[in-house]
Structure 1
């Protein structure tokens, strides 16, 4: 329930702040991209794990959701979302949970990339009189998991599922290596590689007489830079809803697009070092130092005014569990006490929105009029 008395001046710190205006702009931008490319859009909700955010994505036109845990599937199914893709390789011990969801009416799709995994799914499904809907994960960039598009293994897995009585729903890939790029040209090339590889895998399955109705691709950078998605049926992306400093370095958003920040309070100083001490340490920001490998290192985050305006040159340069160290890049700031007096409220933009969001039990959703509404999120597996 909205509390009109709650605002950035009176909520406790540290707090995870979501700018509703920026979030809605990000949602609209990605949905428009999917619509223009002629594919359905299935957002990955692991970034937010929040029913209020997902409702906004579905209202904008998203068709179903992607999750990274079965707990997410449980939570969102409980909020009325039935079209759910569990996009992590299915472990055999989770099949009972997946079956329970499906028997309760959730149209859950699951994923595998091995003969062993496919056999486990097929055997469990047959033993319980149920045909799971299964996608095969495709490796189009050597980033993580999946089967390469041209491997014989692809057809072996497909046959185990199809001949084993399961519903071979299609193929899926994620070009995670896009996070390592930072030019439109490189991102567009990887987007085409992602598309072509996944389509090739689908065509090979079909040529072998195996069904493959779904061709699912996506990462936030490739989704935003793809020139064509010919042969693709579904696009996925997740972090776009908030964006973060890693995505800013990749080049698919500006600092002004980042919708998630951490509200913090100055609690002390080390004047000889030019430090201000804030109450947002790594327990608030997370340990993720993703920008440390990119062309611009933001430490543990970009310092902003309480209104969200970046203060150039000032970063959260180090962090302990509950203490953050705010300092100026380069030479120490001799006027740090006057610039950031004790009690000053600031906002810190995160390196990785997924990791920072995971530190909090709720978001404080900030409206354009300055009022704040609490949105619950959930943790765990």
Structure 2
């Protein structure tokens, strides 16, 4: 199978770009002297994860228990479930551990910590819990200086539950676009998580692991003293949001959506393609950044960007490709001649995780032009 024969829309992984991205991140983590635990929610694909582990990653991070179950079934045992666990899901976590999975779960509140302790007593499983730290006010977690941090640690320790570590995610890095700002946030992320671990240790709670990470801060950090591991996910594919942040070039983006031109609105300068939001996703992450790519950046079949064009709109199964800037309306030309019906294009996504999630499988593109189907999975 080749790109000119594959049914569209389809999710395409440029294997050489992906492998380059994986190798580059691993080399950086090795140089900084930390363990690297990739977040596999981006790909949810065993082929990608095996490439990450082969490059030197140790363990994986998941965002759903279904990911944990699938990757454990494939032989991966060191797994961090990096979403504060709902008490109703504890039985699934325990079932994995009983089958030999070294699963770590996370928590960021006393109520959930108490539920974990009560469950652990009934199951006679000490579990291993990491406490989520909020180092940038972006999402969930406990502030490093908050009294609740020690309260949770004491609840878990008194209940004979192992406090294995602390973890944080500097998600606000997605709002930055300079090297200086990213480096400063990476240090804030490091210092906050290390400080939280030190507070726990000062009360006699071991807290062996200090886990930090986001793709932008992982690529910007210059000092990881006190950190034991870093997590990142989208780096394997990259996307247009990461490009706008400044951590990758367009040529590094390994995921694209193959689409076919199916019509035109000549008077509007529109090219209609068969990749709408059901293929690209509704993620408009670049709309708040310095360069808005609409629903994606179109490229020729060989991956060369079509400068001046973008996917300006998306209905469920229809994408609208046009000139990116209103001032270019006089330069529309004859789009039907430039993009005849049947023309194949590749669209780079705003958010690789969201776009990948629209497809039941990827098609891995080798340098030879040959395609291989790689499975991925959905659900929770």
Tell me which interval the TM-score lies in, with the shorter structure as reference length.
over 0.9
Note if 1:326 corresponds to 2:295.
no
SS at the partner of 1:310? Answer: coil
Distance in 1, matches of 2:73 and 2:18, equals 24
TM-score where L is the length of structure 1: 0.98
SS at the partner of 2:306? Answer: strand
SS at the partner of 1:215? Answer: strand
Distance in 1, matches of 2:153 and 2:206, equals 9
| Structure 2 residue aligned with 1:203 | 198
SS at the partner of 1:347? Answer: strand
| Structure 1 residue aligned with 2:336 | 337
**Counterpart selection for 2:261 from 261, 266, 281:** 266
Q: What residue ranges of structure 2 are gaps of 5+ in the alignment?
A: none
Distance in 2, matches of 1:253 and 1:329, equals 21
Distance in 1, matches of 2:141 and 2:4, equals 48
Note if 1:297 corresponds to 2:295.
no
> Following superposition of structure 1 onto structure 2, how do residues 13-162 of structure 1 map, counting pairs within 5 Å?
13-162=8-157
Distance in 2, matches of 1:328 and 1:379, equals 34
Distance in 2, matches of 1:287 and 1:115, equals 35
| Structure 2 residue aligned with 1:256 | 251
SS at the partner of 2:307? Answer: strand
Q: What residue ranges of structure 1 are gaps of 5+ in the alignment?
A: 1-5
Could you tell me how far 1:335 is from its partner in structure 2?
1.5
> Following superposition of structure 1 onto structure 2, how do residues 140-289 of structure 1 map, counting pairs within 5 Å?
140-289=135-284
Deviations 1:293-332 (A, max 9, x none): 0000000000100111001001000000000000012323
Distance in 2, matches of 1:358 and 1:185, equals 32
| Structure 2 residue aligned with 1:374 | 373
Could you tell me how far 1:345 is from its partner in structure 2?
0.3
Could you tell me how far 1:334 is from its partner in structure 2?
2.6
Distance in 1, matches of 2:83 and 2:124, equals 23
Deviations 1:83-140 (A, max 9, x none): 0000000100000000000000000000001111110001100111110100000000
Distance in 1, matches of 2:74 and 2:304, equals 35
Distance in 2, matches of 1:179 and 1:75, equals 29
Distance in 2, matches of 1:377 and 1:61, equals 22
Deviations 1:16-71 (A, max 9, x none): 00000000000001101110111000000000000000000000000000000000
Distance in 2, matches of 1:225 and 1:183, equals 10
Distance in 1, matches of 2:167 and 2:133, equals 6
| Structure 2 residue aligned with 1:348 | 347
Deviations 1:321-350 (A, max 9, x none): 000000012323131111100000000000
Distance in 2, matches of 1:175 and 1:313, equals 33
SS at the partner of 1:203? Answer: helix
Q: How many residues align?
A: 376
Deviations 1:344-374 (A, max 9, x none): 0000000000000000000000000000000
| Structure 2 residue aligned with 1:3 | none
| Structure 1 residue aligned with 2:359 | 360
TM-score where L is the length of structure 2: 0.98
